[in-house]
Homo-oligomer: A and B are copies of this chain.
């Protein structure tokens, strides 16, 4: 099944099931994260699909909210595709490079992205894993079973801020700049490997297949769970393939008005227009 979080009246959201007939079925949870927090979420979805009192939302009218607007943890793996690692001039890693951001970074699949104060806005198309059950110090088998599904993310990065210091956080944790969605495909319906692509104004700039990940989804979840608890609705980003703007000669970054498209076959497509405002004076 494919699950989404849709905006409804009054600034609210609802979890929804994509029916496959250009419509969504509203589910009794405010968002996909709140749905996954219910241990019986699968039967809740099945009941809603079988119910005679359905709230059907036309896909054309549906507005996609961030899939997991209140994710407790958004943990990212960097340097995880062989080709991207070489592009950045680094060796293949022994351990996953991990950094954190907060749910405030997330925006919907078709939302405009507003950036104030960075002139080096770069793209990172990624497969993201949605956690479906609590994990702490779990082995890889348990971690694999805890994967609720997969979604598409663009880990948009402000390279000027990212490179100010050794730690990437301040270039990665900008509110409302990380598109996520349009849906989560449940693990049972998703393939094993995914083609990940990024486009700027329709031009293909990134392409990779998750079969070339150094650390796969179950390994990442198990590894992270050795030190911190993962819970339903948490998001783990698996890293980006080659083709980011800062790796180009000369480096290339998003301009005001550019449209960034992020696509994974079998999951869906994010399409986000960027509003890059003139940098403001910030404390140095």
Q: Which residues of A contact B (CB under 8 A)?
A: 72-73, 75, 78, 93-102, 104-105, 116-117, 136-137, 140, 158, 161, 164-170, 173-175, 219, 222-224, 226-229, 280, 282-284
A177 to chain B, nearest CB (A): 9
CA of A199 to CA of B280, assembled, Å: 43
Interface of A is mostly: loop
A136: which B residues are within 8 A, CB to CB? 175
CA of A222 to CA of B283, assembled, Å: 8
Partner of A227, one of B72, B174, B227, B284: B174
Is the pair B167, A168 in contact by a Cβ cutoff of 8 Å?
A: yes
A223: which B residues are within 8 A, CB to CB? 282-283
CA of A2 to CA of B228, assembled, Å: 30
Look across to chain B and name the residue whose beta carbon is closest to the beta carbon of A70: B72
A24 to chain B, nearest CB (A): 29
Is the pair A100, B222 in contact by a Cβ cutoff of 8 Å?
A: no
A141 to chain B, nearest CB (A): 12
A137: which B residues are within 8 A, CB to CB? 116-117, 280
Is the pair A165, B95 in contact by a Cβ cutoff of 8 Å?
A: yes
Partner of A95, one of B164, B222, B280: B164
A226: which B residues are within 8 A, CB to CB? 116-117, 280, 282-283
Is the pair B229, A283 in contact by a Cβ cutoff of 8 Å?
A: no
A244 to chain B, nearest CB (A): 16
A174: which B residues are within 8 A, CB to CB? 227-228
A178 to chain B, nearest CB (A): 11
Look across to chain B and name the residue whose beta carbon is closest to the beta carbon of A73: B102
A101: which B residues are within 8 A, CB to CB? 100
Q: Among A75, A102, A170, which residue has the most Cβ atoms of chain B within 10 A? A: A170
A-B pairs with beta carbons under 8 Å apart, 12 shown: A95-B164, A97-B165, A100-B100, A117-B137, A117-B227, A166-B166, A167-B168, A173-B228, A174-B227, A175-B227, A175-B229, A226-B280
CA of A227 to CA of B170, assembled, Å: 8
Is the pair B227, A158 in contact by a Cβ cutoff of 8 Å?
A: yes
CA of A222 to CA of B229, assembled, Å: 30
Is the pair A93, B165 in contact by a Cβ cutoff of 8 Å?
A: yes
Question: Known contacts A137-B116, A137-B280, A175-B136; is A98 also within 8 Å of B169 by CB?
Answer: yes
A219 to chain B, nearest CB (A): 6
A166 to chain B, nearest CB (A): 6
A283: which B residues are within 8 A, CB to CB? 140, 219, 222-223, 226
Is the pair B227, A161 in contact by a Cβ cutoff of 8 Å?
A: yes
Is the pair A100, B227 in contact by a Cβ cutoff of 8 Å?
A: no
CA of A75 to CA of B101, assembled, Å: 10
Question: Known contacts A116-B137, A227-B170, A283-B140; is A96 also within 8 Å of B165 by CB?
Answer: yes
